[in-house]
Amino acid sequence: MNSKKIVYFGTPDFSSQILEALIKDPKINVVAVVTQPDKPQGRKNILTASAVAQLATQYKLPVFKPSKLDQSNLQHIKLLQPDLFLVAAYGQIIPPSWLDTPQEATLNIHFSLLPKYRGALCVSEAIKNQDTETGVTLMVMDQQLDHGPIITQLKTLITTQDNVATLTQKLTSLAISLIPNLVSLKADDKQATPQDHTQATFTPSLKTRTRQSAFIPSSKIYPPKQTNHLDKLHALIRSLNPNPGAWTNINGQEIKLIETKLEKNKLTITKVQLPGKNPISWSQFLTGHQIKQKPA
């Protein structure tokens, strides 16, 4: 059997892990990668290629970094005669002319159990809302956001200690296990099932994920009484970590809340980080920083 020719669209680190699994599959031929343009990073604002671009370069794959998915860029992609486009956190709307280019389909790997949590913040919203499970959806892309028919879904549990980083890694592993579905897919397959759009929910915009939105007043962390809001607070903190990172202010000191623990309706801070410092345990913080009083 001839290997299936795929053009891969992705940008962040977890997307690069999926790409590497595709590259290593002998039944798949990744003929090109499309990713976001290089962006300034770090204090010196050094232009840096995306994680997907860096990996593709290691494997000597053609890398396209268009600022716009226009017809000029599409002509180069068409010369590759791809069977499939596969999208995993690319970060840009793909126009209809591009969606229709592959011989078989344009597919998307989405980190939720669609139609729930359409949008970019699907992992953090599942944690914040205290869901006990989530999953990965392999779907056919259409012109609307996370709207197309579903090919298959896989589920995983969300623990009370999962944050966005740990849950994303679980979902990445699930996504990699979907690769055999790409190999078996055929242009005339009727296996995709339309979503129930009446059940669709949408996540907030990425623009809402600011440092200010991640601020949590210390009065919420040290309430006068242990109340049932603490499970929601624990979930909120985990949903903000590691980025932009939940933080608070205690005795005039900014503190990043790296980790909390909820046991028997008691919320305990277990790991924090001071600006410009390495993470430390809460007990280490208390050794050098006396808390004068619990905020009211």
Report the chain's mean pLDDT, rounded to a whole number: 91
**Mean pLDDT, residues 41-58 taken together:** 93
The CATH homologous superfamily of the domain defined by 4-204: Formyl transferase, N-terminal domain (3.40.50.170)
Each as own residue / partner, the long-range contacts of residues 74-78 (CB below 8 Å, 24 or more positions apart, any chain) are 74/98, 74/101, 77/7, 77/32, 77/34, 77/101
Q: Which of 20, 144, 34 is nearest to 84 (CA)?
A: 34
Question: What are the φ/ψ torsions at residue 105 (nearest 5 degrees)?
Answer: -170, 165
* Euclidean distance between CA atoms 242 and 246, whole angstroms: 8
Q: Does domain 210-288 bear CATH number 2.40.37.20? A: no
Does position 43 have pLDDT exceeding 90, yes or no? Answer: no
- Residue 66: partners with Cβ closer than 8 Å, 6 or more residues away: 34, 37, 73
CB contact at 8 A, 258 and 273 = yes
pLDDT at 227: 57
CA pair distance 17, 169, nearest whole angstrom? 10
What span, in angstroms and rounded, lies between the C-alpha atoms of 220 and 230? Answer: 8
| Residue-range domain boundaries for the chain | 4-204, 210-288
Question: How far is the C-alpha of 142 from the C-alpha of 160, rounded, in Å?
Answer: 35
* Distance from C-alpha of 253 to C-alpha of 203, rounded to nearest angstrom: 32
Predicted TM-score of the model (pTM): 0.92
List for the chain the helix, strand, coil content (%; round to 5). 30, 25, 45
User: Alpha helices of 100-184 — where are they, by DSSP H?
Assistant: 122-128, 164-176, 179-184
pLDDT at 292: 59
pLDDT at 296 over 50: no
Residues 155-194: tens digit of each pLDDT: 999 999 999 999 999 999 999 999 988 888 765 556 789 9
Instruction: Measure the CA–CA gap between 279 and 275, rounded to whole angstroms.
Output: 10
Which residues sit opposite 137 in a β-bridge?
A: 110, 153
Helices (H), the chain: 13-24, 51-58, 71-78, 96-99, 122-128, 164-176, 179-184, 218-221, 230-239, 282-288
pLDDT tens-place string over residues 73-96: 999 999 999 999 999 999 999 999
- Tens of pLDDT, residue by residue over 105-126, are 999 999 999 999 999 999 999 9
